[in-house]
Amino acid sequence: MGFHQFSDKEVLEKIEYYYTRFHLEEKFSKNMKSEMRLHCFPKGSAICKLDEPLPALMFFVEGKAKVLGTLANGKQLLIAYYEPVQMIGDLEVIRGKNATTSMVAVSNCCCLGIPFDRVQSLLLNDPVFLLCICDELGQKLDRITKNSAINMLSPLENRLSSYILAVGTHPANDIRTQADGLVFSENLTYTAELLGTSFRHLHRTLGHLCDLSILKKDKTGYRVVDGSALMTLSAGKYSSLPDARSAGIIK
């Protein structure tokens, strides 16, 4: 069975599980579980694209994704990354416009979504939901400010270390949550563009981290062998919203 191919029963079970696990009922004045739809995205796929319509207001409930901004010259820049549980489409709901950024799945991802027409008819006058959106937007502003400081003020070695911590993934069946064992397998040409550097400088910096025995090159990409050193070298982890971690949902 493919990642996103679930039976009707499995879909209902997943909606129930995520709705309960992340206390989504607290984001509305009324129970919205019956309006939720499951949206799944395999690793490397687009969750949303700049200036294109979003399928729904979505709550990011599984996996890891990166948010990309597009500059006037067409190049992209890493803005932030997403982990559970965060909202996708809050700004678009308020402004009534298409997606303002692009988002790509770093790992297999799942979202629970409410179609925008149902959001407009059921939630735009819901004070609990509107307060939730205000909180989300405020936290995102804080996150973008911190991440912009990393992008603009830190040397490449530090930015790259932060990026590896943000987008690195553990191999299948590896249940570790710390940095040790993370695999960085991103396209290097694309990574160089995101980090605002040249391919040659990026490749040289990766080699230096290998020389320091922080990374090790293997057939899957670059594996983190000294997570503590990588975290020390990083310019600060690219921020995701803190709700799930502060609530003890994610360890």
In terms of domains, do 90 and 56 share one? Answer: yes
- Pairwise CA distance, residues 111 & 62, whole Å: 7
Specify the pLDDT at position 101.
86
Specify the pLDDT at position 235.
63
Tell me whether residue 130 is exposed, middle or buried, using C-beta atoms within 10 angstroms of its C-beta: 0 to 12, 13 to 18, 19 or more.
middle
* Residue 248 half-sphere exposure toward CB, CA atoms < 13 A: 0
pLDDT > 60? residue 247:
no
Q: Which residue has the higher pLDDT, 67 or 96?
A: 67
CATH number at residue 163: 1.10.10.10
How big is the CA angle at 184 (ends 100 and 211), to the nearest 5 degrees? 130
In terms of domains, do 18 and 69 share one? Answer: yes
Q: Which residue has the higher pLDDT, 47 or 238?
A: 47
- Pairwise CA distance, residues 224 & 12, whole Å: 37
In terms of domains, do 130 and 33 share one? Answer: yes
pLDDT tens, position by position, 69-124: 777 777 777 777 888 888 998 888 888 778 888 999 988 899 999 998 899 889 98
Residue 1 lies in a domain: no
**Average pLDDT for 58-70:** 89
Q: Which residue has the higher pLDDT, 50 or 153?
A: 50
Q: Say which amino acid occupies 172.
A: A
CB 100 within 8 A of CB 150: no
Residue 218 lies in a domain: yes
In terms of domains, do 213 and 191 share one? Answer: yes
In terms of domains, do 224 and 169 share one? Answer: yes
Specify the pLDDT at position 236.
59
In terms of domains, do 143 and 161 share one? Answer: no
pLDDT tens, position by position, 129-165: 999 998 888 887 777 776 666 666 678 888 888 888 8
Range of the domain at 116: 8-151
- Pairwise CA distance, residues 80 & 75, whole Å: 16
Of the residues 110, 128, 151, the one at which a domain ends? 151
In terms of domains, do 190 and 119 share one? Answer: no
Q: How confident is the model at residue 15 (pLDDT cuts 50, 70, 90)?
A: very high
- Pairwise CA distance, residues 180 & 230, whole Å: 9
Of the residues 105, 134, 151, the one at which a domain ends? 151
CATH number at residue 134: 2.60.120.10
Beta bridge partners of 76: 70
Q: How confident is the model at residue 62 (pLDDT cuts 50, 70, 90)?
A: very high
Residue 204 lies in a domain: yes
The three-state (H, E, C) secondary structure of the chain, written as one string: CCCCCCCHHHHHHHHHHHHHHCCHHHHCCCCCHHHCEEEEECCCCEEECCCCCCCCEEEEEECCEEEEEECCCCCEEEEEEECCCEEECHHHHHHCCCCCCEEEECCCEEEEEECHHHHHHHCCCCHHHHHHHHHHHHHHHHHHHHHHHHHHHCCHHHHHHHHHHHHCECCCCCCCCCCCCCEECCCHHHHHHHCCCCHHHHHHHHHHHHHCCCEEEECCEEEECCHHHHHHHCCCCCCCCCHHHHCCCCC
